[in-house]
Amino acid sequence: MSSLFPALADGPAERSEPGVPPDEVRRRVALRFGPRSLTYGELAGAAGAVAASIGRAGRAGRVAVWATPELETAVAVTGALLAGVAAVPLNPKSGEKELAHILSDSAPTLVLAAPGAHLPSALGDVPRADVDASATGTPPADETADGDPALVVYTSGTTGPPKGAVLPRRALAATLDALAEAWQWTGDDVLVHGLPLFHVHGLVLGVLGPLRRGGSVRHLGRFSPEGVARELRAGATMVFGVPTMYHRIAEALPGDPELAGALAGARLLVSGSAALPAHDHERIAAATGRRVIERYGMTETLMNTAVRADGQAPAGTVGPPLPGVELRLVEEDGTEIGAYDGESVGEVQVRGPNLFSEYLNRPDATAAAFTPDGWFRTGDMAVREPDGSVCIVGRKATDLIKSGGYKIGAGEIENALLEHPGVREAAVTGEPDADLGERIVAWIVPADPGSPPGAEELADHVARRLAPHKRPRVVRYLEALPRNDMGKIMKRALADA
Q: What's the per-residue H, E or C state across the chain?
A: CCCCCHHHCCCHHHHCCCCCCHHHHHHCEEEEECCEEEEHHHHHHHHHHHHHHHHHCCCCCEEEEECCCCHHHHHHHHHHHHHCCEEEEECCCCCHHHHHHHHHHHCCCCEEECCCCCCCHHHCCCCEEECCCCCCCCCCCCCCCCCCEEEEEECCCCCCCCCEEEEEHHHHHHHHHHHHHHHCCCCCCEEEECCCCCCHHHHHHHHHHHHHHCCEEEECCCCCHHHHHHHHHCCCCEEEECHHHHHHHHHHHHHCHHHHHHHHCCCEEEECCCCCCHHHHHHHHHHHCCCCEEEEEECCCEEEEECCCCCCCCCCCCCCECCCCEEEEECCCCCECCCCCCCCCEEEEEECCCCCCEECCCHHHHHHHECCCCCEEEEEEEEECCCCCEEEEEECCCCEEEECCEEEEHHHHHHHHHCCCCEEEEEEEEEEECCCEEEEEEEEEECCCCCCCCHHHHHHHHHHHCCHHHCCCEEEECCCCCECCCCCECHHHHHHC
pTM score of the predicted model: 0.84
Residue with the larger pLDDT of the pair 14 and 352: 352
pLDDT-based confidence at 11, cuts 50/70/90? very low
Q: What digits encode the pLDDT tens for the residues 346-382?
A: 999 999 999 999 999 999 999 999 999 999 999 999 9
The answer to whether domain 6-183 has CATH 3.30.930.10 is: no
Q: What digits encode the pLDDT tens for the residues 68-87?
A: 999 999 999 999 999 999 99
pLDDT-based confidence at 434, cuts 50/70/90? confident
pLDDT at position 297: 96
CATH class, domain 400-496, is: alpha beta
Q: Looking at residues 192-197, what average pLDDT do you find?
A: 96
pLDDT over 70 for what percent of the chain? 93
Does residue 268 have a pLDDT over 70? yes
pLDDT at position 13: 32
pLDDT at position 25: 76
Q: Looking at residues 283-294, what average pLDDT do you find?
A: 95
Write down the domain spans for the chain.
6-183, 400-496
Q: What digits encode the pLDDT tens for the residues 156-171?
A: 655 567 899 999 999 9
Does residue 453 have a pLDDT over 70? yes
Q: Looking at residues 455-469, what average pLDDT do you find?
A: 88
